[in-house]
């Protein structure tokens, strides 16, 4: 029996890093037939090499280690990887994020680049920074005002 090229390609991708099922399917879809891909994905899932739950936990851990981010941005990034919305919500709930603490840390890191700015400009930039990082408007505003009161 000839070696399964689709399985070999999938294993090569998984050897580099963890993948979500949908993400791996998209990558394999460029080179292989859908029936072959589905068979390989089922085999990899059954053997434990492919696990969306594990991928979500690991991906969230990596994202948060890189930089503090809010739940909204984390949700978007997980959905973009092709994860089911139910699994995304479950994974985020497991984290029990302290968004206010994450926002304060993100603000603390950003403040160094705002030295020398007028308070209004610093406020605007810090607020925008926190909102782009996925924090709710309420948390971003509260943290911005608190951090700038103690700043300079």
Domain boundaries in the chain? 5-46, 52-95, 99-149
CA distance 101 to 111: 15
Taking domain 5-46, whether its CATH number is 1.10.10 is answered by: yes
At residue 28, the pLDDT reads 96
Per-residue pLDDT, 1:
31
User: What pLDDT was estimated at residue 89?
Assistant: 96
Question: Mind spelling out the 3-state secondary structure of 52-114?
Answer: HHHHHHHHHHHHHHHCCCCHHHHHHHHHHCCCCHHHHHHHHHHHCCCHHHHHHHHHHHHHHHH
- pTM: predicted TM-score of the whole model, two decimal places: 0.86
Strand locations in the chain (E): none
Q: Are 99 and 135 in contact (CB under 8 A)?
A: yes
Task: Determine which helix (DSSP H) or strand (DSSP E) holds 109, and give its type and residue range.
Answer: helix 99-111
Name the token pair of 97: 């994020």
- Render each residue's pLDDT in the chain as its tens digit; 152 residues: 345 999 999 999 999 999 999 999 999 999 999 999 999 999 999 999 999 999 999 999 999 999 999 999 999 999 999 999 999 999 999 989 999 999 999 999 999 899 888 989 999 999 999 999 999 999 999 999 998 887 65
Structure-block tokens of residue 64: 């948060």
pLDDT attached to residue 151: 66
Residues near 95 by beta carbon (within 8 Å), at least 6 away in sequence: 60
């Amino acid at each position: 029996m000839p070696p399964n090229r689709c399985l070999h390609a999938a294993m090569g991708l998984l050897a580099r890093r963890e993948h979500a099922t949908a993400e791996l399917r998209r990558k394999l879809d460029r080179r292989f037939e859908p029936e072959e891909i589905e068979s390989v994905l089922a085999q990899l899932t059954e053997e434990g090499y492919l696990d969306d739950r594990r991928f979500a936990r690991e991906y969230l851990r990596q994202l948060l280690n890189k930089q503090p981010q809010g739940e909204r941005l984390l949700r978007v990034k997980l959905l973009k990887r092709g994860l089911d919305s139910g699994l995304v919500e479950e994974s985020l709930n497991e984290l029990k994020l302290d968004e206010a603490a994450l926002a304060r840390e993100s603000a603390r890191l950003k403040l160094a680049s705002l030295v020398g700015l007028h308070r209004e400009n610093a406020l605007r930039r810090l607020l925008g920074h926190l909102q782009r990082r996925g924090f709710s408007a309420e948390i971003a505003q509260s943290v911005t005002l608190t951090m700038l009161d103690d700043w300079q």
